[in-house]
Amino acid sequence: MAFKTTRPLRFGDCDPSGIAYFPSYLNILVGVLEDYFASLGFPWRKLIDDRQLGVPTVRLDLTFMKPGLQGDDLEFLLTVHGIGRSSLDLEHQVSANGHVLWTARHRVVATSLDTHKSIEWPEDLRAALTSHLEKTDAHHPAT
């Protein structure tokens, strides 16, 4: 089941010509990921404060197709494509005005904020993530 949300592309997210400055996309993407975890019942503040669990990005591959323009409403579609021991593979599609602007393949990893090493997903969080898998054979226990 995909997670969908919309974010405006604001003046501060763009270069002087009104075209999205690509690092701004990454900042917006982090907010979308944070909202996704909150939608599962795991707001980052609780993961960080109560569980000492971080979710850093370890791989991110973006492909840009069209420029985003100041004032666009960016439509984010986040899908879960794989869950490993500590990893989570996501795909993002970002559109505006009916056109795909960019896509991303994204891997995050559960880490201990005490040791900064990868840890297994807690069972309750794994269950929530698993309920959003796009395919049933997407567990890859080696990662």
pLDDT per residue, tens digit, the chain (143 aa), is: 899 999 999 999 999 999 999 999 999 999 999 999 999 999 999 999 999 999 999 999 999 999 999 999 999 999 999 999 999 999 999 999 999 999 999 999 999 999 999 999 999 999 999 999 987 544 444 34
Half-sphere exposure of 92 (CA within 13 A, CB side): 30
Element of type H or E holding 109: strand 99-109
User: Can you give the pLDDT at residue 138?
Assistant: 45
Extract long-range pairs of 95-100: CB within 8 Å, 24+ residues apart: 96/9, 96/68, 96/69, 96/72, 97/72, 99/65, 99/66, 100/65, 100/66
User: Can you give the pLDDT at residue 1?
Assistant: 84
Q: Which of 41, 34, 74, 78 is nearest to 56 (CA)?
A: 34
Domains in the chain, start-ordered, CATH in brackets? 3-132 (3.10.129.10)
Whether the model clears a pTM of 0.85, i.e. scores above it, the answer is: yes
Instruction: Give the C-alpha separation, 27 to 88, whole Å.
Output: 19
The token pair at 136 is 């049933």
Half-sphere exposure of 87 (CA within 13 A, CB side): 16
The token pair at 7 is 């974010």
Instruction: Give the C-alpha separation, 66 to 22, whole Å.
Output: 12
Tally of residues, the chain: 143
The token pair at 41 is 């019942």
Question: What value does the CA radius of gyration of the chain take, rounded to a whole number of Å?
Answer: 16
User: Can you give the pLDDT at residue 56?
Assistant: 97
Secondary structure of 112-128 as H, E, C letters: ECCCCCECCCCHHHHHH
